[in-house]
Amino acid sequence: MSTPRYDAFELTDSAYRHGYHDEDVAEMLRGPHLVIRSRRGRRVGYEIFGRNRAGHYLLAAGRVIKYRGVRQLRVFHVNRMTDNERKRFRHHLRP
């Protein structure tokens, strides 16, 4: 699945819990990444798999909302991928 359309992104307070920041998410979104609908249900949003510049394999969870006329990707979770998630990500990026 391709990245959902949005004009800006924002991290909620809970997204910072594991020590990752806006720049880590920006690096994920600029580089090769995989987007799937959330395994917790369609209403939850998307899971985005990618890497930051430091090379950490990260998983971000968020949803696209419309706020003041702007489509915004609101990220509410960012953490390192599990081993299985990393394997899945690497499998999908193979040429």
Tens digits of pLDDT across the chain (95 residues):
677 788 899 999 999 999 999 999 999 999 999 999 877 665 668 999 999 999 999 999 999 998 888 899 999 999 999 999 999 999 988 86
pTM of the full predicted structure?
0.87
Beta-bridge mates of residue 63: 74
Q: In what order do the strands lie in the sheet with 8-11?
A: 8-11, 70-80, 57-67, 46-51, 34-37
33 Rama class: left (phi>0) / alpha (psi -120 to 50) / beta? beta
Length of the chain: 95
